Every structure is written in structure tokens, then in C-alpha cells.
Amino acid sequence: MVMIAIFTIWSIFLYAFRSMKAYWEKCYPSKPRMARMKKALYIGSAIVLVAMLITAFFLIFQS
């Protein structure tokens, strides 16, 4: 049950990230300020992914 929930959250997040990235590259081809913002977006998504992993491990070990 926990694994199904985690997989669903992961797939939703990955789909959202892919669509956001595609939209970003379509709207802002390459500007220096946008590149900085894109880097911030990547760092933020990495932090979210790590937080999700930690949460997943806690849920697995508690059950």
C-alpha cells in the first residue's frame, strides 16, 4: 500500500517536472537570468526529491 502511494506521488511529480521543464524551455530559450532561475528550479526539485525519499524510507520502516 505504501509503495503504491509512493509510486503514484513519484510519477505525478516526474510528469509535472517534465511538463514544467518543456514549458520553461519553450517560453524562455536562453537568457542569463532565466538560466539562474532554471538552476534554482533544478536545485529545488532535487531537494523535494530527497525529502520524498526520506519520507518514503520512514514510511516503509514504520510499517
The domain locations on the chain are 2-62
Provide the pLDDT for residue 30: 65
- CA proximity to 9, closest of 42, 61, 56, 62: 56
Coil vs helix vs strand at 28: coil
Per-residue pLDDT in tens (0 to 9) along the chain, 63 residues: 777 777 787 788 778 777 777 777 777 666 667 677 777 777 877 888 888 888 878 877 886
Q: Is the Cβ–Cβ distance between 41 and 28 less than 8 Å?
A: no
Global confidence as pTM: 0.45
